[in-house]
Every structure is written in structure tokens, then in C-alpha cells.
């Protein structure tokens, strides 16, 4: 999939300065969309929203809010993009949004190096349960878990 003028869709599952799409397409316009529906459904705390916003401030992204697929496609159209590049996510919601995007433009999903290589199935619904399961691996000096 050859894209000459892509945009980058940054989503909440990869707010890293080492975002694979940002690294692969330096200088490409990037967008993050606050997912209004998801924020309301999950009743995301203000503390988490502030944390995410602080992460976004370290990235070269435009920030919008609303329906993610609509905002990403509008952003792509405004820039004459010929495709969308993003990072992978295990989220079923991500898959549904990606499928909506693919009806209009090609989408390249780049793999993300995991934070840790967990030895068990992880519960991704709540950060506290996730952290409890991986904190030993995440804080170890093992080169297998190095960022």
C-alpha cells in the first residue's frame, strides 16, 4: 500500500512519542480525536483525561472532538490525503472505526511494540487491573521489557 500524502490517526491506545506512524511518516499531518461517545459511555475521569491531554501535548498532533471516523475523514479530506496511517490496537472499537475509515481511504495499521511481554492474558478494561498484572515485568531491568 503506497501512500504519497497520508495523514496519521493517533488514538488513545498509543500516545507515545515513539508512535510507529509518526516515526514512519515524519512531517505528515497527525490527528487525535476525543471520542465523545466513548468518553460518555466509559465515564472517563477528569484525571485520566488530563493525563491523556498531557501526553498529547508531547506529540505533533491536531486535537479535535466528536465522532472519530467522521473527524479523521474530514481531516484527511482537508489535506488531500491519499490514505491514513495509524497504530494497532486490540480494541474492538478501534477495529470498527478502522473499518469505517477503509470505506473511504486505505488504512495502514502499524504494529506497536508492547510495553511488556505479559506471560498471561491481560484485562485491558481497567488500567489498575492491567498494571497489577504487569508491574513486576514493567519495572524489571530485563532487556526483554525495555522500552
Express each pLDDT in 39-77 by its tens digit: 888 888 899 899 999 999 999 999 999 999 999 999 999
pLDDT of res. 116: 66
Q: Residue 21: which of 64, 73, 60 has the closest Cα?
A: 60
pLDDT of res. 112: 85
Sheet bearing 83-87, strands edge to edge: 62-66, 30-35, 6-10, 83-87, 107-110
> Higher-confidence residue: 15 or 79?
79
Cα–Cα distance for residue pair 3/32, rounded to 1 Å: 20
What are φ and ψ of residue 45, in 5° steps?
-70, 155
pLDDT, tens digit, for every residue of 76-128?
999 999 999 999 988 889 999 999 999 999 999 999 876 666 666 666 666 67
Q: Where are the domains of the chain?
A: 6-113, 115-147
Architecture of 6-113 per CATH?
3-Layer(aba) Sandwich (3.40)
E-strand spans in the chain? 6-10, 30-35, 62-66, 83-87, 107-110
Question: Whole-prediction pTM value?
Answer: 0.80
Q: Answer whether residue 142 shows pLDDT above 60.
A: no
pLDDT of res. 78: 98
Amino acid at each position: 500500500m503506497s501512500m504519497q500524502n497520508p495523514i496519521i490517526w493517533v488514538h488513545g491506545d498509543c500516545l507515545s512519542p515513539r508512535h510507529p506512524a509518526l516515526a514512519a511518516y515524519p512531517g505528515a499531518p497527525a490527528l487525535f480525536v476525543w471520542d465523545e461517545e466513548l468518553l460518555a459511555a466509559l465515564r472517563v475521569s477528569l484525571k485520566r483525561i488530563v493525563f491523556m491531554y498531557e501526553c498529547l501535548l508531547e506529540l505533533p498532533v491536531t486535537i479535535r472532538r466528536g465522532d472519530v471516523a467522521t473527524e479523521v475523514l474530514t481531516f484527511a479530506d482537508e489535506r488531500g490525503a491519499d490514505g491514513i496511517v495509524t497504530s494497532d490496537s486490540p480494541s474492538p472499537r478501534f477495529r470498527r472505526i478502522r473499518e469505517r475509515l477503509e470505506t473511504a481511504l486505505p488504512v495502514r495499521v502499524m504494529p506497536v511494540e508492547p510495553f511488556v511481554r505479559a506471560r498471561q492474558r491481560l484485562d485491558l478494561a481497567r488500567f489498575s487491573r492491567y498494571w497489577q498484572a504487569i508491574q513486576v515485568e514493567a519495572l524489571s531491568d530485563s532487556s526483554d521489557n525495555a522500552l
